[in-house]
Amino acid sequence: MEFTTETIGDDVAVIRGDGRLNMVSAQPLRDTVKRAIDAGRHRIVVELSRVPFMDSSGLGALISCLKSARETGGDLRIVAPSTQVSMVLKLSNVDKILTPYPSIEEASRD
């Protein structure tokens, strides 16, 4: 799995995943989010449209990243999850705390 990061304004980092979000890629996601937060980007947007699969390790990584962002006064939002990722979020009720946004623009507002 590969992650790319871009910034919007002074405090938003957009992290795009490409591949499966599982046990192997969970730690690289955490590391990518940590680097963004350490660089002063406390509002994190994770774009998931190119993530066809997520397991419990990936779910745990997203929740851990959300906690890290909130501990610094920021937030983490997800954008465009694939069908399988949406199903995992709903089945685990995590969609209640990580509400998916349809676009990066909407997720990075306010």
For residue 89, name the pLDDT band (cuts at 50, 70, 90). Answer: very high
Strand partners, 44: 13, 76
Q: What is the mean pLDDT of residues 61-88?
A: 97
Indicate the Cα dihedral angle 107, 24, 87, 14, nearest 10°.
10
What mean pLDDT comes out for the span 92-106?
A: 95
> What's the pLDDT tens digit per position in 3-20?
999 999 889 999 999 999
Residue 110 has pLDDT above 90, yes or no: no
Q: What is the mean pLDDT of the chain?
A: 96
Bridge partners for 43 per DSSP? 12, 75
The domains found in the chain, sorted by start residue, are 2-107 (3.30.750.24)
Overall average pLDDT of the 25-53 stretch:
97
Instruction: Calculate ∠ Cα 7-12-99, nearest 5°.
Output: 125
